[in-house]
Amino acid sequence: MTIWNLVRVEIYKMYKSKMTIQLIIISPLAAAVIAFQGSDKELIPNHQWLTPLILMCFMHSLFLLPLLTGVLASLSCKHEHDHGGWRRFLTLPVKRSQVYLSKFITIILCTACIQLLFFIGWVLVGKVAGYTNPMPLLKMTGIVVSDWIATWPIAAFMLFVATKFTSFGAVLVISVICTVPNLMVVNSERFNPWYPWVQPFLGMMPQDAGIFQFLFFTPGTLLITVLGSFAFFFVSGLTYFKHKAI
């Protein structure tokens, strides 16, 4: 069984859960409603398209997206925990590393769907508001993709936690505990470059330039905080899962 076959199985299980669709649409929908209410304002002169972003990103990327990433990670393991699925799953001719990787890919595909809906909501707000400035499509895409990449270390850590704890509630509590400090860390120039849970918000902040004119992180933040912590959390979780007693 190939890794993509496993991913299809994981996507099917997530799709069968009534919570998944709700989790994917809730944050983009809430963010779009907030942006519609303030779309008549111009918070940054001569940059109409950044006004919805500023209104949307506080709830979406500072709080809901990191929290939902953790919930999706927990949901990806819920079936195996509830129905003894780990033992049956691992009797198939698959490696544990393939199972773990397929779950991670499924989680970040879900967050990609969230970001796609966020992007659509952003465009709809601007169109309905009748913005006359040209839509900065490349910059808007880069901001949304930066936000998505910033969820990778969160997904890796929360998948590690979700495979360790059988309780859905326990994983949710840990996700909340990790997300709530964003409200304080985001205002700290000393700590916010190094805290993974606040990176989705920082990655969406409008900047004049980005890495390759596309990704809106500083090189140090991208390499150390985002990709570095992602690699650390993923390898730690994979190592634990490979030796986990089932």
The per-residue pLDDT for range 181-225, each reduced to its tens digit, is 999 999 888 888 899 999 999 888 765 555 545 677 888 888 999
pLDDT tens readout for residues 28-66: 999 999 988 876 666 666 677 888 888 888 899 999 999
Predicted local confidence at residue 192, as pLDDT:
87
Model confidence band, residue 25 (pLDDT cutoffs 50, 70, 90): very high
The radius of gyration of the chain from alpha carbons, rounded to an integer in Å, stands at: 19
Per-residue b/e over 151-172, b at no fewer than 16 CB within 10 Å?
Answer: bbbbbbbbbbbbbebeebeebb
Predicted local confidence at residue 50, as pLDDT:
83
State yes or no: pLDDT of 82 exceeds 80: no
State yes or no: pLDDT of 16 exceeds 90: no
| Average pLDDT of the residues in 101-130 | 93
Model confidence band, residue 108 (pLDDT cutoffs 50, 70, 90): very high
Predicted local confidence at residue 109, as pLDDT:
96
Least confident of 76-85, 153-162, 170-179, 184-193: 76-85
